[in-house]
Amino acid sequence: MSTVLVTGHKNPDTDSIASAIVYAYLKNELGVHAQPVRLGEVNKETAYALDYFQVEAPVFADENVQQGVEELILVDHNEAQQSIDARENFNVIEVIDHHRIANFETMAPLYYRAEPVGCTATILLKLFKENNVDIPKDLAGLMMSAIISDSLLFKSPTCTDEDVQAAKELASIADTNLESYGLNMLKAGADMSDKTADDLLTIDAKTFDAGANKLEIAQVNTVDVEDVLKSKDLVSDRMDEIIREKQLSVFIFVITDIINSDSTIVVRGDDSDKVECAFDISLHDDTAVLKGVVSRKKQIAPVLMKEFSTKEKV
C-alpha cells in the first residue's frame, strides 16, 4: 500500500505538528497507511508538549521521505504558499483545517473538513468520535496542547466554546491539569532569552497588502515583555533594514504578554502615525501597549488593514 503523507504548514506551530501526528494515527486506525511529516523545525513550545507526553516528532519532509509518495493530507492549512514545495506534484486527498480557503484548487473531489473554530485539534476530536475510534492518552495530550497553543489558554478571541469543551475533554483523557500544564507549556514556548533581533522578527511574521501599502506584522509570545524590550535598539535597526528591503509603509513588532493578555507594540516606518490613529494610541519611543489585545488575526491585522486601505499613501 502506498504511503500518504500528513502535513501541517511551514514554520510549524504546535497545532500543525500535533494534528499531523494525531490524524495520521486516526487514518492508520481506519486502514490508510499514513505518515506524519513536518515542514520545519519543532519550536520550543511543541518540543515541551512532545517531551511531556513522550511522543516523537514527525520526520522532516525531505526528498527521501517524499520518494514514491503520490498523495497528501493537509492539516491546519490549505494555502499553497504555506504548504509543501511543489505541491502540484501531489494529489491532495484530504484537508482538515480551521483557516480561510485561498490559493487552493484540486482536479478531483476530495474530503475537505474546515470549521470556524480556534484549532484543528478541536475538529480532529469530532472525527475520532464520528469514526468511533478511541484517542490514546498521549495523543489526547498533544491535541489538548494544540488547543492551548492556538487559544493562548482560551484567552484569544479566536477561541470558541467548542475549543474550550474539547480541551477539557482531552485533558480528562490525558489525565492532565489543563491550567498548570498549559501555563508551563506556553512559558516554555515563550522563552525568548536566546533569540537574536532577527529571530524575534522572523519567528512569526506576516506581510499584508492594504491598498498601495505593504505592512509587516511580526509577533512573539512571552511571559516577560521587559526582557524582550532589552533588544529594542537592535530590533529597531533590523526593522528599518527590512522596511527598506521590502519597501514597507510600516513594520509592527508585537510582543504579547501571555500572562496578562496584553501586547506591547514597537512601530517603525513612515506611516507610524496611521498606527496611532488606527488604535487611538500615542507611541512613546515607537512603543505603546494595546490592552487586551493578543490576536494578530482578529485584533491587529483587520484594524490596520482598514486604516491603511481607506487612507491611501500619497
Told to check if 105 binds its own copies by CB under 8 A, we report yes
Q: Please, what is the minimum distance in Å from the beta carbon of residue 309 to its own copies?
A: 12
Told to check if 208 binds its own copies by CB under 8 A, we report no
Q: Please, what is the minimum distance in Å from the beta carbon of residue 81 to its own copies?
A: 13
All three cell numbers of 184: 508551563
Q: Is 76 annotated as a binding residue?
A: yes
- Which 3 state secondary structure label does DSSP give 32? coil
Size of the site for its own copies (CB under 8 A): 20
Contacts of 90 (CB under 8 A, 6+ apart): 5, 69, 70, 71, 72, 84
Q: Is 262 annotated as a binding residue?
A: no
Cell 506576516 appears where?
Answer: 206
Among 30, 59, 101, 277, binds its own copies (CB under 8 A): 101
Q: Is 9 annotated as a binding residue?
A: yes
Q: Please, what is the minimum distance in Å from the beta carbon of residue 24 to its own copies?
A: 19
- Closer residue to its own copies (CB): 86 or 107: 107
Range in contact with its own copies (rule: CB under 8 A) among 101-109, 202-210, 224-232, 247-255? 101-109
Q: Please, what is the minimum distance in Å from the beta carbon of residue 299 to its own copies?
A: 14
CB-count exposure of residue 170 (10 Å: 0-12, 13-18, 19+): buried
Q: Please, what is the minimum distance in Å from the beta carbon of residue 152 to its own copies?
A: 17
Told to check if 87 binds its own copies by CB under 8 A, we report no
Q: Which of residues 116-135 bind its own copies (CB under 8 A)?
A: 116, 130
- Which 3 state secondary structure label does DSSP give 71? strand
Q: Please, what is the minimum distance in Å from the beta carbon of residue 166 to its own copies?
A: 15
Among 81, 106, 165, 172, binds its own copies (CB under 8 A): 106
Told to check if 277 binds its own copies by CB under 8 A, we report no
**Residues composing the chain:** 314
**Burial code of 236-258, b = ≥16 C-beta within 10 A, e = fewer?**
bebbeebbeeeebbbbbbbbbbb
Parallel, antiparallel, or unpaired: how do β-strands 205-210 and 213-222 relate? antiparallel
Among 30, 59, 102, 234, binds its own copies (CB under 8 A): 102
Told to check if 115 binds its own copies by CB under 8 A, we report yes
Tell me which long-range contacts 104-108 makes (C-beta under 8 A, separation of at least 24).
104/78, 104/79, 104/80
Among 107, 285, 291, 310, binds its own copies (CB under 8 A): 107
Helical segments of the chain, H only: 14-29, 44-52, 63-66, 120-130, 137-151, 161-174, 178-189, 197-202, 225-229, 232-246, 272-279, 301-310
Told to check if 108 binds its own copies by CB under 8 A, we report yes
CB-count exposure of residue 286 (10 Å: 0-12, 13-18, 19+): middle
Q: Which residues are annotated as a binding site for Mn(2+)?
A: 9, 13, 15, 76, 98, 150
Where on the chain is the footprint of its own copies (CB under 8 A)?
98-116, 130
